[in-house]
Amino acid sequence: MTYNTDIDTVGNTTISSLFDSQSDAERAIERLREVGIASSQIRTVEGTETTTGTVSDPDHNKGFWDKLGDYFFPDEDRYSYAEGLSRGGYLVTVTGLTDAEYDAAQAILDDEGTVNLDEREESWRSEGWGGYGASSYATAGAGSPTLASTTDHLTDDATIPVVEERLRVGKRDASRGHVRVRAYTVEEPVSESVELREDHVELERRPVDRAAVVDEDFRDRTIEAEEYREEAVVSKDARVVEEIGLRKTSDTHRETISDSVRHTEVEIDDDRDDLGQPKKPL
């Protein structure tokens, strides 16, 4: 999956890929370095070995959820990556990619066996995994937020934090299916008709009654004839009659993302008798 943390900045595209084994992840990292991607652009998170096919403990996932907090993931994907890491996966993230580097990095990660997260989530659900929607993280954020109210007595360093949420909009690759062209060879029977000629030699004996010429008819003689027949000769000529290829095209469209952000409002109640003293501005 791909995330762009700053749409207006060239060269700030990030790719994150989950691998099942450390060897696949290390092989992908080595190939990324070979095409000129700096080691400082590559980050890895190593998962914990578990028994294959078991549903992980949500409490165990919390450590990975927290560890991925500074990654720019939607919460649903962050939870899925945490699940994959808890099952022994390895997360490889490449940051600061140009357009050319992005294409090369994506091809390398796909070639080295990156996990299809959507398919893996379906497999986990069949084992009883509930996904982000059933997690405590989603439950805690559902509906209108309830803010706890506390009253602190004045101390020398008592403060109220003023908090603002900022909306960050990124992009990710979502699979819409794929096209595969596979060429293979089949044999089918064919038939062609051809006319063949055969020569036959027949022995003919016919009675005659005439005077013999002694010097002529008593000579040793031999006559012979050879039979021929035509046989079919088969040859095959292979011709390329069509070429099939795949070509990717892309276009862009602008989409407006609407959401809500929270911030802290501060109300000041000051009912003191100023006794003629000017109040200090806030």
Pick from 232, 227, 226: nearest CA to 196? 232
Per residue in 90-116, pLDDT tens? 999 888 888 788 888 888 888 888 888
Q: What is the DSSP letter of 41?
A: G
Q: Give whole-number Cα distances, 10 to 3, 35, 41, 72, in Å.
A: 13, 19, 15, 17
pTM summary value: 0.52
Contacts of 225 (CB under 8 A, 6+ apart): 201
Does 178 map to a domain? no
CATH of the domain at 21: 3.30.70.3450
Could you list the beta-strand ranges (E) of the chain.
Answer: 2-4, 13-19, 42-46, 90-97
Burial class from Cβ neighbours inside 10 Å (0-12, 13-18, 19+) for residue 114 reads: buried
Residue 176 in any domain: the answer is: no
Instruction: For residue 269, tell me if it sits in a domain.
Output: no
Domain count, the chain: 1
Quick check: is 102 in a domain?
yes
**CB 3, CB 97: distance < 8 Å:** no
DSSP H helices in 178-236: 214-217
3-state SS class at 91: strand
Give the Å distances, CA to CA, from 37 to 24, 30, 107. Answer: 18, 10, 13
Query: Is 17 domain-assigned?
Result: yes
Q: What domain range is 82 assigned to?
A: 2-141
pLDDT classification of 61: cutoffs 50, 70, 90: low
What are the tens digits of pLDDT across the range 1-47? Answer: 544 444 444 446 888 889 998 888 999 999 999 999 998 889 888 88
Is 134 a domain residue? Answer: yes
